[in-house]
Amino acid sequence: MTDRRLSDDQTFNQSPPFVDVNLFTSDTALQEAVRREGAAQAYENLSAFGGLVGSAASLELGRLANEHPPQLESFDPRGDRIDHVEFHPAYHQLMAISTAQGLHCSTWEHLLAGTRPKPGALVARCAGSYMAAQMEAGHCCPITMTHAAIASLRHAPSIARDLVAKILSRSYDPGIAPIGEKSAITLGMGMTERQGGTDVRANTTRAEPIDGRGPGRAYAITGHKWFLSAPMSDAFLVLAQAEGGLSCFLLPRLTTDGALNGFRLQRLKDKLGNRSNASAEVEFDRAEGLLVGEEGRGIPTIIDMVTLTRLDCAVSSAGLMRQALARAIHHARHRSVFQRRLIDQPLMAQVLADMALDVEAATALAFRLARAFDGEGESEAPYRRLMTPVTKYWVCKTAPSLAYEAMECLGGNGYVEDGGFPRLYREVPVNAIWEGSGNVMCLDVLRVIEREPETLDKVLAEVETIASVEPRLKKAVIKIKELARGVRHDQGAARTFVELLALAGAAALLASYAPNAVSDAFLATRLQGSWRNTYGAGVAHADTNDILARATSHLV
Ligand SMILES: Cc1cc2nc3c(=O)[nH]c(=O)nc-3n(C[C@H](O)[C@H](O)[C@H](O)COP(=O)(O)OP(=O)(O)OC[C@H]3O[C@@H](n4cnc5c(N)ncnc54)[C@H](O)[C@@H]3O)c2cc1C
């Protein structure tokens, strides 16, 4: 057999693989966000985790888990139904890495100890999630759902008592056994049905009491879910119609004696991206579920879980944006065109710097939001309530266009599967779709300012402190207030309103904490209220050298 290449030294001017990069110590904006938002104590732990998840070995696990997506096995060799999903070993290793870091549980450890939440715990955990998504995003779905489910399980202390210790375990247990026999468990969520995902009130799945009605009681659940991700989770929080209305249930996959709990996996979705993660269509045939919270209070009960997953969508998208930018910068630093490195070509520098501004903004917004959830203090409630949908909307919607531009920075190599960029590109849209799509986030914002108008004033007060010395921000605040008055009667302005609120929030954070080159270029280009078609347009006067030096520091 002849070697494809005639000699090794014929390969030159190709960028080396983007591996063995510490995803924490190479990311200045992330490190600053972690310190600023109250998790400085986690610095060493995050540095170690950043090295692990950015290592060539971990990134290879991500590749393998996506090259060999999960397979549904409906029957065993004898023809009995098993409804089993088989994952590649690499997926389990990814799960073990994120579980050992506590991404599924670290913020809840005080529940076992009976103490108050640790300050900064959620910010530290989100920094881990931001990096884990860059290693491989699909496995983050069950990690996120397990973490978020505890928020809803607090509505059912009797059920939570038996589960929390197993959820808090940091040793991943993929075994197929009843919950009582497992050392660690993961949780999923079933809301979306064929006829409606956003409109969960249209759910037709029914719940009938088995031995009496009320919190903690068993109900027989019959119906279906159109999307149920991580279907090998040990239990799911599902919505179903009980006599008292739409209610939330904890539905274990197996019964206590190890049989399938009336749980039939119909098929797995063939998805655009997120392929390491299984998303199933499922039917329930008198599956036994325990009522979480009160009958008829299903939405308020599960919304606590949904809200935390929305935060994770923003954090994960910010991480994926950083990964896309870092790969583009890496390539531009190692690739020469017309005797000059790409990064030194003024037009390329402009494109990269412009993308870096959005990565800075996404990171600042996501971690400011994470702080608002840390400890769940009352003073942060207005920020949590209003800025969760605003941040999810803007960060998750900005990520796909940024990933596209970053891919183009790699030229043809960006478009080819073995370089890894196509997987990143296919992954990014999902965060905007699930857990409340764009319009739904906008409508949520409108609901908040209608029902609790003071939240907008409270959030804007933070922006106005900076606006008092920054005329561009001042103008944006005036516009936001004007839009807020109109948008109550005209939904059509909702996206403009939400975008400007996100951009003003980000601009205020950057003006307070980022170097002048970053905040000045962001303020100059993002607050005009006009649609920018492409990256690199409009930043001709920005200090691209300083912006890029910051985005590049510690990248090899
Ligand atoms: C990969 C993947 C995994 C998933 N995993 C899960 C899971 O584990 N559990 C689960 O329960 N669900 C899951 N989902 C479902 C997901 O949450 C829903 O797809 C999502 O909530 C949207 O619901 P829908 O698909 O029914 O779309 P629809 O609700 O029909 O919405 C379609 C579009 O209409 C817009 N829209 C809705 N209402 C309005 C309105 N009033 N005004 C204007 N526009 C509106 C939406 O923003 C959206 O863009 C998953 C989805 C995907 C893609």
β-pairing, 187-190 vs 235-242, is: parallel
pLDDT in tens, 201-249: 999 999 999 989 999 999 999 999 999 999 999 999 999 999 999 999 9
Q: Report how far Cα 484 is from the mean position of its chain's Cα atoms.
A: 28
Backbone angles phi, psi at 260, to 5 degrees: -65, 135
Return the ∠ at Cα 392 (arms to 386 and 397), rounded to 5°. 135
Please determine, for residue 67, whether its predicted confidence score (pLDDT) is greater than 50.
Answer: yes
Q: Any residues with CB less than 8 A from the CB of 299 and at least 6 apart, and which?
A: 200, 201, 239, 246
Taking CA atoms only, the protein residue closest to ligand 1 atom 17 is 434
Please tell me the predicted confidence (pLDDT) of residue 335: 97
**Which tokens sit at 283?**
């039917």
Beta-carbon contacts of 377 under 8 Å, excluding residues fewer than 6 positions away, are: none
Q: Measure 137 CA to ligand 1 centroid, in angstroms.
A: 19
Which of left, alpha, beta for 269 (phi over 0: left; psi -120 to 50: alpha)? beta
Residue 281 backbone phi and psi in degrees, to 5: -100, 135
Pocket perturbation via mutation, ligand 1, pick of 392, 433, 442, 447 by most ligand atoms within 8 A of CB? 433
Q: What is the 3-state secondary structure (H, E, C) of 245-261?
A: EEEEEEEECECCCCCEC
Burial category of 384 from C-beta neighbours within 10 Å (exposed 0-12, middle 13-18, buried 19 and up): middle
Cα of 235 from ligand 1 centre, angstroms: 22
Name the closest-CA residue to atom 16, ligand 1.
434
**Mean pLDDT across 396-423:** 97
The SS3 assignment for 377 reads coil
> Which structure tokens are listed for 30?
């992330």
- Lowest mean per-residue pLDDT among 306-310, 357-361, 405-409, 469-473: 469-473
CB of residue 439 inside a 6 A radius of ligand 1: yes
Question: In 116-173, which residue ranges form alpha helices assigned H by DSSP?
Answer: 121-135, 140-153, 157-167
Largest CA distance in the chain: 78
Measured from the CA of 277, which atom of ligand 1 is nearest? Answer: 1
Q: How many CB atoms lie within 10 A of CB 100?
A: 13
Number of residues that make up the chain: 556
- Are the CB atoms for 428 and 320 separated by under 8 Å? yes
Compute the distance between CA of residue 187 and CA of residue 234 in angstroms, rounded to an integer: 6
Q: How remote is the CA of residue 407 from the centroid of ligand 1, in Å?
A: 27
Place of tokens 């998840």: 53
> pLDDT tens across 115-150, in order?
888 999 999 999 999 999 999 999 999 999 999 999
Ligand 1 centroid from CA 16, angstroms: 39
pLDDT of residue 509 exceeding 90, the answer is yes
Structure tokens at 500: 């400007």
| pLDDT beyond 70 at 531 | no
CB 545 near ligand 1, within 6 Å? no
- Alpha helix ranges (H) inside 15-107: 28-36, 43-53, 56-67, 89-100
What is the best residue among 139, 152, 193, 198 to mutate for testing ligand 1's pocket, by most ligand atoms within 8 Å of CB?
198
Three-class DSSP category at 182: coil
Q: What would the pLDDT profile of 175-208 be if each residue is shown by its tens digit?
A: 999 999 999 999 999 999 999 899 999 999 999 9
pLDDT for 1: 47
Helix (H, G, I), strand (E, B) or coil at 541: coil
Q: What is the DSSP letter of 530?
A: S
Other beta carbons less than 10 A from residue 498's beta carbon: 28
Residue 2 has pLDDT above 60, yes or no: no
CA atoms of 229 and 141, how far apart (whole Å):
8
Q: What is the pLDDT of residue 4?
A: 57
CA atoms within 13 A on the CB side of 267: 3
Closest to 363 in 3D by CA, of 325, 336, 401: 325
Classify the C-alpha dihedral 137-407-390-363 as positive or negative: positive
Q: Judge whether 384 and 303 are in contact, CB under 8 Å.
A: no
Cβ 190 under 6 angstroms from ligand 1: yes
- CB-based contacts of 553: which residues, under 8 Å, 6+ apart? 26, 28
Distance (Å) from CA 436 to ligand 1 centroid: 6
Beta pairing partners, 528: none
| High-pLDDT (> 70) share of the chain, % | 97
The per-residue pLDDT for 468 is 85
pLDDT at 492 over 70: yes
pLDDT at 529 over 70: no
CB 242 within 8 A of CB 207: yes
Give me the mean pLDDT over the 485-490 stretch: 90
Phi, psi of 226 (to 5 degrees): -85, -30
Q: Match 């197996």 to its residue by tokens.
A: 254
Which pLDDT band, with edges at 50, 70 and 90, does 9 fall under? low
Average pLDDT of the chain, as a whole number? 95
Query: What pLDDT score does 11 carry?
Result: 83
The three-state secondary structure class of 188 is strand
Question: For a substitution probing ligand 1, which of 306, 439, 487 has the most ligand atoms within 8 Å of its CB?
Answer: 439
Tell how strand 279-292 and strand 245-252 pair up: antiparallel
Contact 109, 168 (CB under 8 A): yes
In the chain, the percentage of residues whose pLDDT exceeds 90 is 91
Q: Ligand 1 centre and the CA of 138: distance in Å? A: 18
Residue type, 310: R
297 Cα to the center of ligand 1, angstroms: 21
**Pairing between β-strand 218-229 and β-strand 81-86 as defined by DSSP bridges:** unpaired
The reported pTM is 0.97
What's the Rg (C-alpha) of the chain? Answer: 24
Residue 546 has phi, psi (to 5 degrees) of -70, -40
